[in-house]
Amino acid sequence: MFQSVVAPNGLVANLFGPIEGRRHDSGMLRESGLMNQLESTMNKIDGTPYSLYGDPAYPLRPHLIVPYRGAALTAEEQEFNKFMSAVRVSVEWTFGKVLSLFAFLDFKENLKLYLQPVGKYYVVTTIFTNCHTCLYGSETGTLFGLNPPTLVEYLQ
């Protein structure tokens, strides 16, 4: 299992894992140290935090926004959740791109967990997917109107 941060230009900007077994997302977030990194580096000059948008399993933090929960949401909260669900879908596009470029990762019967470095396969293919995004762009970058760096810039 991996935890990923996808940038608006379509690149996987942070990848943590693999972690064996089924872990709760919030536990994996804590183990990754990502929140500590964000708290120390992701603030505007006035101290206002930049925030990531996470899926509903994550806890709400100053640097991590999640959907509003509950049955009695205001119209504004419902509108926010609807708008931000498009952001969440763009992250799924990136995961799908890794699997479409490297389909062997999705053939679980062909991957032997203790006989092959399955986690390393995913890390390497994610790097290669970022390279592909630098060369050809991505749906996510198109959605947000952002181009990735050149391949040379990315690999430096």
Query: Helix or strand or coil: residue 145?
Result: coil
Spatial contact of 134 and 148, defined as CB atoms under 8 Å apart:
yes
Query: Mind listing the pLDDT tens digit for each residue in 98-107?
Result: 999 998 887 7
pLDDT in tens, 15-45: 998 887 677 778 888 899 999 998 888 888 7
Quick check: 38 and 30 in contact, CB under 8 A? no
Strand partners, 64: 52, 61
Q: Which of 23-32, 53-62, 83-92, 132-141 has the highest mean pLDDT?
A: 132-141
**Domain map of the chain by residue range?**
3-155
Neighbours of 99 (CB within 10 A): 14
pTM of the model: 0.86
